[in-house]
Amino acid sequence: MMTFAKALIENQPTLQWFAGELSGAPVHKSVTNTGQLAGFFQDKVSLAGIDPATVVYRVEWWEPVSPTVEGGLFWGSTIIEPGRVGNEYFMTRGHFHTIRNRAEYYCTVQGNGMLLLMDELRNIKVEIMSPGSLHYIPGGFAHRAVNTGDTALCFWACWPSDAGHDYETVASKGFSARVLSKNGKPVLVPEEAVTEA
Ligand code: F6R
Ligand code: MN
């Protein structure tokens, strides 16, 4: 007969919900700085004036199964620092899932922001991120989180293990709108209007 001690699963992670940290299991971590986001922010002059090592966001995530497995789930946090490049708020790169019909949940635990959701026809919609907000990202929508507040924006995400990340489409075509600060308030500005903004 199996003893309880033997039946205990090892490497079960613990999460620090509000700090956005995972521990107790092997987790993946990434840090993205302004130098790596050169093609993403609109104001190149302002970007050139910022130390390229300035951290924009950190991600920690747990992959309990291989990314080749269909039917599994991944779990992770993102912390976006407060800040701007010119009048554009710090944000994630944003991506479509490689397998387009793969959906995702985001839920906010700290801070304030906006979640941009854009379909393949470049139609865009926005959801407000604030502590407790839950966001269902349907398959086929590129998603980008933007920190519009003065403190870190922290959210958790859950996505299918085989979703994959298509960064190329956003890197080459961008989103169809940007979140800019106007008179101290975040405003969604269509890409074609940004230069006049
Ligand atoms: C996973 C997911 C998030 C993001 C994270 C960083 O599918 O959407 O965990 O990966 O918020 O954003 P990106 O990946 O766009 O740099
Ligand atoms: Mn995703």
* Nearest CA-CA partner of 111 in 123, 128, 124, 93: 128
Q: What is the pLDDT of residue 5?
A: 67
Q: 94 in ligand 1 pocket by Cβ < 6 Å?
A: yes
Q: What is the pLDDT of residue 194?
A: 86
DSSP-derived 3-state class of residue 84: strand
Report the nearest atom of ligand 1 relative to the CA of 163: 7
DSSP-derived 3-state class of residue 113: strand
Ligand 1, atom 5: nearest CA belongs to which residue? 78
Six-digit token pair at 28?
């993946």
Enumerate residue ranges in the chain where pLDDT < 70: 1-2, 5, 9, 195-197
Q: How far apart are CA 81 and CA 77, in angstroms?
A: 13
Which ligand ends up closest to the CA of 58?
1
Each domain of the chain, given as residue ranges in start order, spans 25-183
Contact of 126 with 188, CB cutoff 8 Å: yes
Residue 186, phi then psi, degrees to nearest 5: -75, 130
Six-digit token pair at 149?
């507040």
- Cα(95) to centroid(ligand 2), Å: 6
Q: How far apart are CA 174 and CA 47, in angstroms?
A: 17
Residue to mutate (ligand 1; options 99, 109, 135, 165; most atoms within 8 A of CB): 165
Q: What is the pLDDT of residue 196?
A: 45
Six-digit token pair at 137?
């990202």
Model pTM greater than 0.85?
Answer: yes
CATH superfamily name and code, 25-183: Jelly Rolls (2.60.120.10)
Q: Give the CA-trace dihedral at 166, 169, 170, 172, to 10 degrees.
A: 140
Q: 108 in ligand 1 pocket by Cβ < 6 Å?
A: no
Q: What is the pLDDT of residue 175?
A: 98
